[in-house]
């Protein structure tokens, strides 16, 4: 069955992973800018990273018949130094016209600090200025509920159209507020944190399959680039019809992305 990986950090994965997801049916992959596993020491480091996302990774993915797309930002883990973050953000507009760029992301909060929130809001302003959608990272574990509430309040004040926004890494205690406010909800399928396949399908059964997508967010840590298809298998084992599974793993992300971006 064909599917879209809406959130995968392939710069941290081997070429074998491209081959595996291609064999599993992946037709397109979206890669948000994120933390490199260490704090970059200069804006030039981000410039080279944006080149990697917009020049090199699309070529690597194309060898396996996968369309590669990117979101650009400075991630919240490196946004505590607001001056540094603003220097990096001045670089971003140079890359926004690249054919594989979708929008601004993954922005958001890490420790729910004031500086992080300020840079988050400036990213949202940048997206609005360039008429782009936004992909948002919500904090981990015990900070997730507080961070999600801060993000929702900030977005409401910004007056950005909710249908342009995906709020990622939702869990049972945050998904309802995200969907009720009109935003899209991303379920991140991690082996040891965030959300298991079973929990993700449980949430679909409770909150429905509209304006939700599933992603692996595969990165440097313990993560699984095949997580979306393993969740599709969980749905199949629960006797979901094929068209319902297809809606969640392919139709939903496509319907969001083609509406607001360069996605084909």
**∠ CA(175), CA(132), CA(111), 5° rounding?**
45
Specify the pLDDT at position 192. 74
Note the pLDDT of residue 261: 82
d(CA 101, CA 135): 12
The domains of the chain, with CATH numbers, are 3-260 (3.20.20.140)
Give me the pLDDT at residue 141, please. Answer: 75
User: Could you tell me if 166 and 185 are in contact, meaning their C-beta atoms sit under 8 angstroms apart?
Assistant: yes
The answer to whether 54 and 68 are in contact (CB under 8 A) is no
3-state secondary structure of 259: helix
CA atoms within 13 A of residue 61's CA, in its CB half-sphere? 26
pLDDT value, residue 105: 97
Using an 8 Å Cβ cutoff, are 263 and 252 in contact?
Answer: no
Rounded to the nearest 5 percent, the helix, strand and coil shares of the chain are 50, 15, 35
Write the DSSP assignment of 190-236 as a string of letters.
Answer: -SSSSB-HHHHHHHHHHH-STTEEEE----SSS--TTHHHHHHHHHH
Low-confidence ranges of the chain (pLDDT < 70): none
pTM: 0.96
Q: What is the pLDDT of residue 142?
A: 77
């Amino acid at each position: 069955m064909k599917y879209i990986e809406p959130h995968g950090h392939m710069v941290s994965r081997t070429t074998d992973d491209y081959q595996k997801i291609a064999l599993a049916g992946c037709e397109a992959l979206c890669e948000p800018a994120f933390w490199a596993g260490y704090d970059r020491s200069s804006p030039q480091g981000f410039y080279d990273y944006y080149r990697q996302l917009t020049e090199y990774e699309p070529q690597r993915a194309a060898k396996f018949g996968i369309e590669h797309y990117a979101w650009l930002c400075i991630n919240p883990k490196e946004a505590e130094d607001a001056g540094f973050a603003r220097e990096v953000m001045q670089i971003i507009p140079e890359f926004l016209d690249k054919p594989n760029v979708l929008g601004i992301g993954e922005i958001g909060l890490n420790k729910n600090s004031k500086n992080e929130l300020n840079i988050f809001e400036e990213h949202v302003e940048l997206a609005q200025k360039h008429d782009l959608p936004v992909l948002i990272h919500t904090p981990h574990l015990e900070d997730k509920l507080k961070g999600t509430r801060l993000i929702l309040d900030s977005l409401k004040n910004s007056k950005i159209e909710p249908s342009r926004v995906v709020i990622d890494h939702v869990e049972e205690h945050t998904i309802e507020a995200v969907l009720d406010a009109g935003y899209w909800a991303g379920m991140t399928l991690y082996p040891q944190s965030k959300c298991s396949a079973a929990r993700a399908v449980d949430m679909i059964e409770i909150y429905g399959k509209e304006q939700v997508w599933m992603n692996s967010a595969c990165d440097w840590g313990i993560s699984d680039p095949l997580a979306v298809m393993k969740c599709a298998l969980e749905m199949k084992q629960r006797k979901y019809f094929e068209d319902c599974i297809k809606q969640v793993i392919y139709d939903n992300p496509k319907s969001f992305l083609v509406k607001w971006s360069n996605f084909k």
